[in-house]
Amino acid sequence: MSPTHEVGALTRFAPAKINLALHVVGRRADGYHLLDSLVAFASTGDRITVEPAAEDAFTVSGPYAAGVPVDAGNLVLRARDALRKEIGQSAFPVRIHLEKTLPIASGIGGGSSDAAATLKALCALWKADLPSTDLAALGLSLGADVPMCLYARPARIRGIGEEIAPIGTLPDCPIVLVNPGIAVSTPAIFKQLTTRDNPPLAIPPETNAPQAWLDWLHATRNDLQPHAIAVAPIISEALRALTNTGASFARMSGSGATCFGVFATEAQAEAAAAQLLLDDPQWYVQATMLKGSDSAP
């Protein structure tokens, strides 16, 4: 029996993932780096829509659609195939549509978040009641960032990405995302590292007071940032632009090149984004909210 008359299209949000801090604290024998990172998710992101179809199909739209591969190397399709292999015959053919609004290879987890949203959407469409631990393990097989994107709430991330400890005190926070129009290769940045046994994060604040979090952030690092700037010096221009428009804190996310700036109010973030776009219309600039635990996407 065709499933077309039983279920319709389902859409899931794929939020931008922001590494507020990222410490490289070791390296495994297999070459994977050990991290200690604080991640949170923004109210901006991509969208995945899935629906039954006569045969599998994948389409992409949005401002960054042109850079998205549509072959088997795409994480969305790898997620579909991995989940289908896991659940078997009930995984009928599907049409998947990706609305791509986040820049490609930009350090904010676009591909990983898309894969996580695909897994969530297909689990609902295929009525696959997988335990969260099994889904996280399947996600990890696709990429180190996928399990945290499945969780999609503020968390301290350790190991290679599989150790997820919820953070319950992060407040909602207005931020501006800036990407200076370049893609950065994560493996290339990791290869630049000269020190891999750096100190771990300090314990995150046990309060949702914004100033306490700002003070904590100023005492943390992104150990990939100096190396990314060495590869792509324009990242330092993006950081400087955020500071010049009033950000109380600015840092690169992940392996870059996207940077984020923290602002006191949504109005200040919107004004800064407008100014940044005037200064360089070719940059990706987005005012958004960093979502705290009580209002996660």
Instruction: Please tell me the predicted confidence (pLDDT) of residue 15.
Output: 97
Query: Contact at 8 Å (CB) between 287 and 268?
Result: no
Residue 227, H or E segment: helix 225-231
Q: Which of 117, 141, 166 is the last residue of a domain?
A: 166
Q: Does residue 26 or residue 1 have the better pLDDT?
A: 26
With cut-offs at 50, 70 and 90, classify the pLDDT of residue 194. confident
Average pLDDT over residues 42-46: 97
Q: Are residues 85 and 161 in the same domain?
A: yes
DSSP E strands, 128-224: 155-159, 163-166, 173-179
3-state secondary structure of 286: strand
pTM: 0.94
Shared domain for 160 and 211, answered yes or no, is no
Q: What is the mean pLDDT of residues 3-31?
A: 88
Among residues 123, 140, 166, the one where a domain terminates is 166
Q: Report, as residue numbers or ranges, the catalytic residues.
A: 17, 145
Do 103 and 162 share a structural domain? yes
Both tokens assigned to 249: 């804190």
CATH of the domain at 153: 3.30.230.10
- Tens digits of residue pLDDT in 244-264: 999 999 999 999 999 999 999
Q: What is the pLDDT of residue 6?
A: 58
* Strand 33-52, strand 57-61: pairing: unpaired
Q: Is there a single domain that holds both residue 46 and residue 96?
A: yes
- Residue 47 and residue 153 share a domain: yes
Annotated binding site for ATP: 103-113
- The annotated binding site is made up of 103-113
Query: Between these two residues, 147 and 194, which has the higher pLDDT value?
Result: 147
Last residue of a domain, one of 101, 133, 166: 166
Percent of the chain past pLDDT 70, that is, above it, reads: 96
Are residues 8 and 131 part of one domain? yes
State residue 156's pLDDT score.
98
Shared domain for 67 and 28, answered yes or no, is yes
DSSP state string for 125-148 = HTT----HHHHHHHHHHH-TTHHH
Q: Could you tell me if 23 and 110 lie in one domain?
A: yes
Regarding whether 209 and 84 lie in a shared domain, the answer is no
pLDDT digits (tens, 9 = 90+) for 150-176: 999 999 999 999 999 999 999 999 999
Q: What is the CATH number of the domain that holds 197?
A: 3.30.70.890
The total number of structural domains in the chain stands at 2
Q: Are residues 144 and 178 in the same domain?
A: no
57, pLDDT greater than 90:
yes
Q: Say whether both 156 and 252 belong to one domain.
A: no
* Residue 221 structural domain: 173-295
- Residue 49 token pair: 């829509």
pLDDT grade for 195, boundaries at 50, 70 and 90: confident
Strand partners, 21: 38
- Same domain for 151 and 190, yes or no, is no
